[in-house]
Amino acid sequence: MTDVTPAEETIDEVTTPRAPRRGFVVGARVVIGTVGVAVAAVALVAAGLLPLPTYTAEPASVLVTPVPTAQELVCPGGILRLGDVGGQDATTATAIGRATVTSQATNGDVESEALEAPAGDAAAPQSIRTAPAASTDASPVLLNGAQSEVAATGEFAGLAAAQCGTVTTDAWLVGGSTTVGRTTLLTIANPTDVVATISIEIASENGAIDAPGSTGIIVQPRSQRVIPLAGLAPDIASPVVHVTSQGGQVVASLQQSTVRGLEPGGVDIVGATARPSTSQIIPGIVVRNAEGVQERQGEDGFADLITMLRILVPGDKDTTVTVGLVPDDPELSGASFSYAVEGGVVADLPIEELADGTYTVTATAAVPLVAGVRVSTVAPTPGLSGTRATDLAWLGASTLVTDDTLVSVAQGPSPVLHLYNPTATTAEIGVDSGIGSTSLTVPARTTVTVNLLAGRSYQLSGFDEILGSVSFVGDGQLAGYGVQPQAATSSDVTVYPN
């Protein structure tokens, strides 16, 4: 593992013939016909030998360079509870604190603007982070942001960290639960100036959920909505949520909190996973205090501490999914197995007996799928309450990055960058914090890790393709999020006038 630290501090008219009247007439016609054919043949050969005139013309066109636009991200906001501290007004989302955001751009300062919440909703506002547009002759502006928050109040405890996301009309969210003691909230932000009309599809261990009120949801421009998932799909253990938008583009995320009896069991914010594909890769799965986790799994209500891969094959086609777990440390043992998955039905695949360490999980099938991993940790010693604190983290499949990108490191314990090279050749990846840099050699289809500094942003460069994530691990604390490509920028367009 390499440290990146401050220095000293990348398509004929047809007629009926008559019978001949004389033999010589026929002979003459044959001769004349033969001569005619010969003349025609000579003419054709001559035409083939002579160069034919050619003419080409390029269609009139104009190359249009769009005016560069500002880059925008939306950060999920603070951890939420339903109701107030006294348990009243259970339909209202209330913030228990405020997240700390780390963000940076390669050009100019990053500006922040809070989104409006619906009337009567006291939820901590999600925020837009904006970087100024580059000049027309400059390189594209890179922008990134991430947030974190530590909860330590009532039924909420643990570390939640999340990437600030880019807008989309189609997002897949793998995570959460609405069984007893598990609360999952869907947050949708619309940072655009156009009304967004939202449709929500939910799949579960029982198949697709027919949820009244899941379509035609309006999110006003530059505002946010918080939707309790239990209101659409109560008492399901394994939701996968598909959010689509018409009109304005949105950023969607889930927040899960767990309480077992009176004991808080962790909290996390779940960002969008990679879109359906026949291959999904999740680097940066951290297993910490596996023995403590296994001990607590035997207690009533603690079965969902187990490390688990959640998979959905959208549609109705069944398939077999092949799963592989490769440790970053070659001295540790990995695992592989296959599992028959029913189309449209969510499968939670337990992953047992992993030693402490970090792993890369792969899931492949003949048809597209979406995937995410839940992992938990337990504090090594009891806290003030006499119990050993537990926390959970969801990590979705990483999105392929094919050009330079920024990675912002939220505030949190022991941040580590995990980079996976999906290509068949070794990659040299530059990691630059602005005050120090290093170069990582990443062999083909291998993951390497590097220690980072919390509260800083790093530019990654020099690669063709990478997948990555950032993890945080402390005593009874666990969190992580994926490395994201930069938002698409406008490119030159060739226009052909009429």
pLDDT band at 383 (very low <50, low <70, confident <90, very high): confident
Give residue 48's pLDDT. Answer: 43
What type of residue is 96? Answer: I
CA nearest neighbour of 359 among 405, 302, 309, 431: 309
With respect to residue 392, please indicate whether it lies within any of the assigned structural domains: yes
Residues spanned by the domain of 133: 65-489
Question: How far is Cα 325 from Cα 351, in angstroms, rounded to an integer?
Answer: 9
With respect to residue 152, please indicate whether it lies within any of the assigned structural domains: yes
pLDDT digits (tens, 9 = 90+) for 223-253: 999 999 999 999 999 999 999 999 999 999 9
Query: Which helix (H) or strand (E) segment is 44 a member of?
Result: helix 23-49
* Paired sense of beta strands 447-451 and 2-3, if any: parallel
With respect to residue 50, please indicate whether it lies within any of the assigned structural domains: no
Which whole number is the average pLDDT over 345-351?
A: 97
User: How buried is 274 (Cβ within 10 angstroms: 0-12 exposed, 13-18 middle, 19+ buried)?
Assistant: buried
Question: How far is Cα 200 from Cα 231, in angstroms, rounded to an integer?
Answer: 12
With respect to residue 404, please indicate whether it lies within any of the assigned structural domains: yes
pLDDT band at 480 (very low <50, low <70, confident <90, very high): very high
With respect to residue 466, please indicate whether it lies within any of the assigned structural domains: yes
Q: Could you write out the DSSP letters of every residue in 92-125?
A: SEEESS--EEEEEESSSPPEEEEPBPPTT-BPPP
Give residue 49's pLDDT. Answer: 42
Q: Which has more pLDDT, 51 or 139? A: 139
What total number of domains does the chain contain? 1
Least confident of 10-24, 124-138, 161-175, 285-299: 10-24
- pTM for the full predicted model: 0.84
With respect to residue 58, please indicate whether it lies within any of the assigned structural domains: no
With respect to residue 341, please indicate whether it lies within any of the assigned structural domains: yes
With respect to residue 400, please indicate whether it lies within any of the assigned structural domains: yes
Give residue 24's pLDDT. Answer: 33
Q: Above 80 in pLDDT, residue 263?
A: yes
